[in-house]
Chains A and B, each alone.
Chain A
Amino acid sequence: MIQLNNVTKRFPGGQEAISGLSLSIDKGEMVFVTGHSGAGKSTLLRLIALIERPSDGQIIVDNQNTRRVKRRKIPAYRRQIGMVFQDHKLLYDRPVFDNVALPLIIAGVSYRDAGRRVRAALDQVGLLHKEKQRPATLSAGEQQRVGIARAIITRPKLLIADEPTGNLDPDLSLEVMRIFRRFNEVGVTLLIASHDITLIDSLGCRRIALEDGKLQQEADPWQ
């Protein structure tokens, strides 16, 4: 599903967030990216979502070489990927329903037709009863789940999440991971950046450990 060949991301300041990184993630895998703050986890996810372009190397997502995706085609490319953000990135002046419906509206589904799908997605994250509320009136965990509902509503084959449990308590973190787990069970590929080693280990998923933009050598038996 995702393949990186010798990818480097150098920022204008000369800083290398990712240095010569190669990795491969199969279809239907659920993989965690770990590492210290500044290790390059977010940058890796942003490269895959084409929010950043690599300085060097090749990124292939779902058989598409991202280098060949033209600027004008980036929106269509992103619509194939579900994204969950650490800071939720919700629209705070609209109700939960509208937030979750947004990817469908962008895809051209009418507001009315979107209704059933929005409720189905909200049902999956356990927020069906909150569809009329504004995100600001929800707890951080609930906002995170709204973000997840929005990411899955178009049924993407690939879901990437940047520290989705960053500011949740252990119970909520586990709940969010369970939701991800269920998507994985129906074939969605997941790539999740996280600090929470204990949680990851309890799930028994593969781990990609980053250090200074490179794979950390010793930590992981799966490498």
Chain B
Amino acid sequence: MAITRNADAIAPVRSSSVFSIWLARHTSTSLGALGRLSRQPFASLMIILVIGVTLALPAAINVIVKNMQSVSNSWSNALDFSMYLKKDLTVSDAEDLANLIRQRADIESVGLITADEALLEFKKQSGFGKALNQLSENPLPHALVIRPSSGNTGASLTLLQEEIRNLPETELVQVDTEWVQRFHAILDIVRQAISIGVVLLGIAIVVIIGNIIRLDIENRREEIEVTKLIGASNAFVRRPFLWTGFWYGLLGGAFALLLVQYGLYLLREPVSRLAGLYQGKITVASLTITESSAIIGIAVFLGLFASWVTAARHMRRIEPR
């Protein structure tokens, strides 16, 4: 028991490089936090479940909207509308205008039907060919058939048509497919509702995780006091709680991902049957890598944010006595 017997006992505290200390601390703290979660598997699972379901809800609705939109875009000519030009425009005027409009980013293609072509077609289809031959001049105007690009939303379509309608060359804009536009408008509303919902559900998740962390802090109050008493900084005592929040976020996000993918998997069969009926090529788009990582990223962010705010608020109050 002589104090000089063991050299280790009197060696000064060796400090390794700042980074390796940082890494070692975080590795052990993160594993420790994970270990604590696994020691209360039922409670942890419940929380992860709640976070997962809360996140899966908006994610699933988002996927459905995305799929509906791509389906509606696959009705290729569904968004086309016709623009009838003023009578005094010549064919070359009409061609110039078509070229001009074609350059817009929100327009995929513009087709020109000259007055002569239109008359010819009309003669063929109506069977009034002889009678129409009597006309001294062609009563039909030139027309442009405009196909908006698929990136358009309901609102941007309406705006586009309004702009076309206001051009000086325009006599009349005719939209044959207003129901498609209504559909798009509804999707717009749903999308907005999602973003509001996401904010609310995000707040809910922050409150849930924050509360769990607060309880955790209360339960470990004595431990926090003791560690502070022997020289632990606020950052040191806060670290395990941040990791707890991180794990809740990560696991909750992963669970949400699982839920959404499983739901899509269940939908695949009936949708392909439906697609068969319509001879369409409808497939269920699953989550892209970007979307999946966004879900996980948001979940982790919410977990960290909640634990950070909670820990910062409560840690300062716990001072050793």
Is A103 positioned at the interface, with any CB of B under 8 Å from its CB? yes
Q: Which of B3, B14, B226, B236 contacts A91 (CB 8 A)?
A: B226
Question: How many B residues face the partner with a CB closer than 8 A?
Answer: 34
Is B230 positioned at the interface, with any CB of A under 8 Å from its CB? yes
- CB contacts under 8 Å to A, within B7-62, are 8-16, 21, 24-25, 28
A121/B9 in contact, CB under 8 A: yes
Q: Which of A83, A90, A108, A119 contacts B15 (CB 8 A)?
A: A108
Is B320 positioned at the interface, with any CB of A under 8 Å from its CB? yes
Selecting from A14-22, A71-79, A136-144, the interface stretch reads A71-79
Residues in B whose Cβ lies below 8 Å from that of A219: none
B231/A103 in contact, CB under 8 A: yes
A104 with B13, Cβ < 8 A, contacts A51-B320, A91-B223, A120-B6 known: yes
- CB contacts under 8 Å to A, within B169-220, are none
**B212-240 interface mask toward A, CB cutoff 8 Å, 1 = contact, 0 = none?**
00000000001101111111111010000
A89 with B231, Cβ < 8 A, contacts A120-B9, A186-B3 known: no
A111/B28 in contact, CB under 8 A: yes
Question: How many A residues face the partner with a CB closer than 8 A?
Answer: 40
Residues in A whose Cβ lies below 8 Å from that of B223: 91, 93
Is B290 positioned at the interface, with any CB of A under 8 Å from its CB? no
Residues in B whose Cβ lies below 8 Å from that of A111: 24, 28
Q: What is the CB-to-nearest-CB distance from A150 to chain B, in angstroms, rounded to a whole number? A: 7
Is B1 positioned at the interface, with any CB of A under 8 Å from its CB? yes
Residues in A whose Cβ lies below 8 Å from that of B125: none
A79/B14 in contact, CB under 8 A: no
Q: How many A-B residue pairs have CB under 8 A?
A: 95
A79 with B231, Cβ < 8 A, contacts A91-B226, A108-B21, A183-B3 known: yes
B6/A150 in contact, CB under 8 A: no
Q: What is the CB-to-nearest-CB distance from B232 to chain A, in angstroms, rounded to a whole number? A: 5
B230/A124 in contact, CB under 8 A: no
Q: Which of A104, A110, A123, A182 contacts B6 (CB 8 A)?
A: A123
Q: What is the CB-to-nearest-CB distance from B106 to chain A, in angstroms, rounded to a whole number? A: 56
A75-B228, A107-B15 are known; give 16 further A-B pairs, CB within 8 A: A51-B320, A51-B321, A72-B233, A75-B232, A76-B231, A89-B230, A93-B223, A102-B230, A103-B230, A110-B24, A117-B9, A119-B8, A121-B9, A124-B1, A154-B13, A182-B2
B interface vs A, CB < 8 Å? Answer: 1-6, 8-16, 21, 24-25, 28, 222-223, 225-234, 236, 320-321
Subset of 30 A-B contacts with CB under 8 Å? A75-B228, A78-B230, A78-B231, A79-B230, A85-B229, A91-B223, A91-B227, A102-B227, A103-B230, A103-B231, A106-B230, A106-B231, A106-B232, A107-B15, A107-B231, A108-B15, A110-B16, A113-B14, A117-B11, A120-B9, A123-B1, A123-B5, A124-B1, A124-B3, A124-B9, A151-B230, A154-B13, A155-B10, A155-B11, A185-B3
